[in-house]
Structure 1
């Protein structure tokens, strides 16, 4: 593979042109998938911000190149996605992303009061098929509790 001779020039409709500006790709196969269509507009927006967070982080948690951290200062303060009083909405939408196979929870910071670590997943490609399964180890603690309550 050869390197680009000149760096990619951002188009005016893509960016303000700042050097620290990152981009994140969303491909048509994802946009047209049943998993993506099962999400609400707010959940889709949260996924886009997760990708922006992922590409914006210089060092990856746990040394895993697919991991990123998301905490209240980011989703509430930096991105302005949810009000501080609407933490329940954030966790509901994040659980939907995990439930649809887009993310997995690597470390839940609820117990230790640290940043939670999430990982991107390709399980969404199997959404709606018998091969689709979100393992309890990939869920947040709240999702695991709900699963235990559901099962008789």
Structure 2
């Protein structure tokens, strides 16, 4: 009988949520093409995959929305985390688009969101591994 591996989070990582980033990703051309703020935004997106506000609640009948690689990421969430100020909305969407162009995630749909009786579109993103095939122009 083999020894059981301990898969717990190491103590030096602190307590709380944990998102692994592979060495292959860190050394990729796509990762190096991102700005520091875009890298932090990517990590925030990874955290949103396990957030309580997940697309699976809005799409209970769609199998693809039940997976842990889909998520919502709003400008308000990024502001709340301190990555952007309220006046940097344009920069946020440019960064989101750049991360998508580099192959880290892609927008898959606009989900309905009700607020005050009105319907607002809400983007759903899916993590991808297309960054592995990124070649700089």
Same fold (TM over 0.5): yes
* Conserved? CA contact 2:9–2:18, under 8 Å: no
Structure 1 unaligned regions, length at least 5? 130-152
User: What do residues 38-62 of structure 1 show as CA deviations (whole Å, max 9, x unaligned)?
Assistant: 1111111111111122234475532
* Conserved? CA contact 2:50–2:68, under 8 Å: no
Listed as ranges, the matches of 1:1-152 within 5 Å are: 8=8, 10-11=10-11, 13-15=12-14, 17=15, 21-57=16-52, 59-61=54-56, 62-77=65-80, 79-108=81-110, 113-128=120-135
Give the structure with the larger strand fraction.
2
Q: Distance in 1 between matches of 2:50 and 2:17?
A: 6
Structure 2 unaligned regions, length at least 5? 57-64, 113-118
How far did 1:113 drift?
A: 2.1
Q: Distance in 1 between matches of 2:42 and 2:30?
A: 12
Cα gap change, 1:28 to 1:10, in 2 (>3 Å)? closer
Structure 1 length-normalised TM: 0.68
Cα gap change, 1:9 to 1:76, in 2 (>3 Å)? closer
Query: Comparing both chains, which one has the higher relative contact order based on Cα–Cα distances under 8 Å and sequence gaps of 6 or more?
Result: 2
Aligned residue for 2:116?
A: none
Q: CA RMSD in A?
A: 2.8
Number of corresponding residues: 121
Partner SS, residue 100 of structure 2? helix
Q: Distance in 1 between matches of 2:18 and 2:51?
A: 9
